Amino acid sequence: MAPKDTALPLAMVSLILHFNWNWIGVAISDNDQGTQFLSLLRTEMQKNTICFSFVCMIPTKALTYISRAEVYYNQIITSSANVVIIYGDIDSTLAVSFKMWESLGIHRIFLTTSQWDVTTSKRDSTIGSSHGILAFTHHHSEISGFKTFIQTLNPLKYTDEYLARLGWMNFNCEVPASKCKTLKHCSSNASLQFLMEQTIDMAFSDDTYDLYNAVYTVVHVIHEMLLQQVYNGNEHHDEPLFIDCQTCASIMKTHFTNPVGEKVNMIQRENLQAEYDIFQIWNFPNGFEVKVKIGEFSPYFPHGQELHLYEDVIEWATGSRQMPPSVCSADCGPGFRKFLQKGISACCFDCIPCPENEVSNETSDVEKCVRCPEDQYGNREQNQCIPKSVVFLSYEDHLGKTLASIALCFSAFTVLVLVVFVKHHDTPLVKANNQNLSYILLISLMFCFLCPLLFIGHPSSATCILQQITFGVVFTVAISTVLAKTVTVLLAFIVIAPGRRMRFFMISRAPNYIIAICTLIQIIVCAIWLLVSPPSIDIDAHSEYGQIIIVCNKGSVTAFYCVLGYHGFLAFTSFIVAFLARNLPDKFNEAKLLTFSMLLFCSVWITFLPVYHSTKGKVMVVVEVFSILSSSAGLLGCIFIPKCYIILFRPERNSLQKLREKTSS
C-alpha cells in the first residue's frame, strides 16, 4: 500500500539546498532498501555538489552491530556535519543507534521520515537545544471530521497509545497565547491551544494512512463483488462471502478514489511518485512533542519549484528563518576563490585571495576569479572592478598649466625681442649681426616655445604627428639659422686678405642657403618617418595600477633618434664654427654668444636622453617639453638678451663711432 520513496532523495536534497547545507552525514540500514536509497541520494547530491561527511551503513544483525557501535558513534560525534539523514526501519539496529545518540546528547538536525518521531527520547530536555527532526511524510488530504475529533477528545477516556500521545493539546500557558511567539518561550505546563491556528500535524501517520487505504481497498473489492453478484442474479444474503485467489488477483488490479479524494492505485507499475509534507518535530520536557508542518514537496511542480516552505512558520517555531549551518568550509566570500586540494572532498576547500586585477563579487563560492576589463581594475578588497583613471598631461593639471604658462610667456617675450630688433633695425648692433638671420631665428624660437602646447592636452592622431614633426622642423630652422650666423661671422673675419671668391660668397649671401638646405633635409627625414611608421596614440593600461596612461607613441624610434641626431649634428657643427670665430676682433662679434648657446643646447639634449628613457607616462612628456623649453630659452637668452640690454639700456655703445673705435684699435 505504501507509495515508493523514489522522490524522497530529491525532496531531501531540495531542502538541503534551500538551507545552503553541503556537508551531510548519513546513517542508513545496510539492506537492499537502504542501498537503493543511498544510490539515489548520492546521485542527487553529486548533481548539486553536496558531500558526505560520513556514511554509516548500520548492519541489520545485532551481533555485527554491537561490535561496531562505538565506530558509528565516533563517526557522528567527530563529524562537523550538523545535518544527518536517517533512513531505515524503526525496529532495526539503526533505531538503537538513533536512541543512543539522542540519549547521549548529540544535537543534530535529523532528516528522516515521519515514522522516526516515535523513536525520540521522552526524557526531559531544553527547548531549543537543537532543531530536532525534519520529517518527510507522504502527503495526505485531511480526513473529514478528524480534526474536530482531535480537538474535542479527552485523552483520559482513551487507553489507545496513539491517542494518548496527543495529550499536548491540553496544556495550559503561563503567558497569554498572543505573547507566546515561539515554541522556545513555552514550557511543559504551557497552553498550546493557540497552536490550533498553526499548521499542526493532525493527520494520520503514514502507516495508519496505508492501513486506512488497505481497509478501503478490501471494502472496495468486496463492494464490487457484491455488485457483480447482484448483477448476475446470484445474491444470497445469508451466505458468507467467499474470497478466493481470483479475488486476491483482482485486489492487485484495483484503482479507485478514497473518501478523502486521493487516488489509490494497486497496480505497481502505474504508481505515482509520492508527494511529501515536511514537519518539524519538537520534543518538550516531560516527554511531549509537537509536529509543525513547515513545507511541502511535489515532484510534479516545475524544476526548481518542487519545494515550498512556510518561512513564517519556521520563524515562529524556531525564532529565526535561518537554520544552523552545515558546511565543511565556510563561504569564501567576495574577493576570494576556492582552492580545492587534491584528494579532498569538493565541499572542503581553502579560500585564497583573487590574483591582482581579478575580482570575485559573488557571495557564494567560486573557483575562478573574473579578470577586470582593460579599462578597469580590481579594488583592494578584490570584489569590484573600478574604472581606471585616464592619465595624460592635461591643461587641468598644475604641471600642465605651469608648462603652458611658461611656453606662452617665453613666446610673448620672444615677440617683444623681435619688436625691439625691428624697431632698432637701423642701428649698428642689429646690422652688424645680420638682422635678417636674427629675425628668422627669433621667429623660429617663437614657434619653438609654442611647440610644447601640442604636447599638452588629450593626445590625438593629429597632435601626435604634429608635435614631433613641428618639433623637428622648427628646431632645425633655429639651429641652422645659428649655423648660418656663425658661418657668416667666420667668412667676414677669418680671411685677412679678401679674394674674389670670398667676396662672392659674402655678396651672394650664400650662408643664408644653409637654412633652406638643412631644413629640407630634415623635412625629408620627417616624410620618411611618416611613411614608414608615423607617431600614434599609445594607450597603456598595465604600467600603472588603476591608471590608463595615454601618450603619443613615437612610431619609428629610429626615425625619432635620426631627428634628434640631426639636431645634434647641426648644433655641434655650429658650436665648432662659433668656437673658431670666438676671438675674432669686432665690437659686436657674437661668436662667443653663439658658442655658449650651442654648448647649453647640446648639454640639455644630452641630459635629456637618459632621463627620457628612465621615465614613462606623462612624466616622459614633461621631460621632453622641459627640454624643448630650456634649450629654446638658452638660445634666446644667450644670443639676444645681451644685445637687448645694449639696445635698451646702453644705447651709447650701439653707435658707429664705437664700432670704428674698436676696429681701429
Residue % of the chain over a pLDDT of 90: 23
Q: Which string of DSSP letters, residue by residue, matches 552-617?
A: EE-S-HHHHHHHHHHHHHHHHHHHHHHHHTTT---TT--HHHHHHHHHHHHHHHHHHHHHHHT--T
- Total domains in the chain come to 4
Structural domain range at position 442: 398-664
Mean pLDDT along residues 464-471: 91
The Cα–Cα gap between 475 and 605 comes to 12
The phi, psi pair for 280, rounded to 5°, reads -110, 125
Q: Check residue 149 and give its pLDDT.
A: 67
Domain boundary, last residue among 253, 272, 291: 272
The confidence band for 584, taking pLDDT boundaries of 50, 70 and 90, is low
- SS3 of residue 279 by DSSP: strand
Evaluated on CA atoms 13, 14, 19, 22, the torsion sign reads positive
Pairing mode of beta strands 109-113, 133-138: parallel
The Cα–Cα gap between 112 and 381 comes to 42
Q: What's the distance, Cα to Cα, between the start and end of the chain in Å?
A: 140
- Statement: residue 38 has pLDDT above 50: yes
The Cα–Cα gap between 44 and 11 comes to 10
Q: Check residue 217 and give its pLDDT.
A: 79
- Statement: residue 158 has pLDDT above 50: yes
The confidence band for 189, taking pLDDT boundaries of 50, 70 and 90, is very low
Does residue 233 lie within any of the structural domains? yes
The Cα–Cα gap between 28 and 85 comes to 8
Q: Report the range of poorest mean pLDDT among 106-110, 216-220, 385-389.
A: 216-220
For residue 513, the domain's CATH number is: 1.20.1070
Q: Check residue 176 and give its pLDDT.
A: 41
Does residue 189 lie within any of the structural domains? no
Domain identity same for 110 and 25:
yes
Q: Report the range of poorest mean pLDDT among 113-117, 161-165, 275-279.
A: 161-165
Does residue 186 lie within any of the structural domains? no
The confidence band for 123, taking pLDDT boundaries of 50, 70 and 90, is very low
The confidence band for 137, taking pLDDT boundaries of 50, 70 and 90, is confident
Domain identity same for 279 and 251:
no
Does residue 356 lie within any of the structural domains? yes
Report which residue type is found at 550. Answer: I
Does residue 187 lie within any of the structural domains? no
Domain identity same for 124 and 114:
yes
The confidence band for 205, taking pLDDT boundaries of 50, 70 and 90, is low
Does residue 193 lie within any of the structural domains? no
The Cα–Cα gap between 198 and 175 comes to 18
pLDDT tens digits, residue range 568-581? Answer: 999 998 888 888 76
For residue 319, the domain's CATH number is: 3.40.50.2300
Domain identity same for 303 and 364:
no
For residue 379, is it left (φ>0), alpha (ψ between -120 and 50) or beta? beta
More confident residue, 607 or 266: 607
DSSP 479: H
Evaluated on CA atoms 438, 444, 445, 450, the torsion sign reads positive
Domain identity same for 448 and 537:
yes
Q: Do residues 243 and 294 make contact, with C-beta atoms less than 8 angstroms apart?
A: no
- Nearest 5°: the CA angle 51, 53, 56 is 115
Domain identity same for 461 and 588:
yes
Does residue 150 lie within any of the structural domains? no
Give the mean pLDDT of the chain: 78
Cα 298 to chain centroid distance, Å, stands at 37
Domain identity same for 359 and 326:
no
Query: How many residues would you count in the chain?
Result: 665
**Grid cell of 44 as nine digits:** 542527487
Domain identity same for 243 and 286:
no
Nearest Cα residue to 654 out of 491, 492, 420: 420
Does residue 196 lie within any of the structural domains? no
Q: Check residue 144 and give its pLDDT.
A: 67
Domain identity same for 382 and 503:
no
Q: Cα-Cα-Cα-Cα dihedral of 570, 575, 580, 583, to 10°?
A: 140
Domain identity same for 268 and 306:
no
Nearest Cα residue to 310 out of 289, 296, 324: 296
pLDDT tens digits, residue range 609-642? Answer: 888 888 888 888 999 999 999 999 999 998 888 8
Domain boundary, last residue among 252, 272, 292: 272
Mean pLDDT along residues 178-202: 45
- SS3 of residue 355 by DSSP: coil
Domain identity same for 326 and 243:
no
Q: Report the range of poorest mean pLDDT among 237-251, 316-330, 508-522.
A: 237-251
The confidence band for 305, taking pLDDT boundaries of 50, 70 and 90, is confident
In DSSP terms, 307 is beta-bridged to 297
Pairing mode of beta strands 255-257, 263-265: antiparallel
Domain identity same for 489 and 572:
yes
Orientation of helix 557-580 relative to helix 591-613, angle to 10°: 150
The Cα–Cα gap between 569 and 658 comes to 37
Beta strand spans in 298-439 (E): 307-309, 336-339, 350-353, 358-359, 370-371, 376-378, 385-387, 389-391
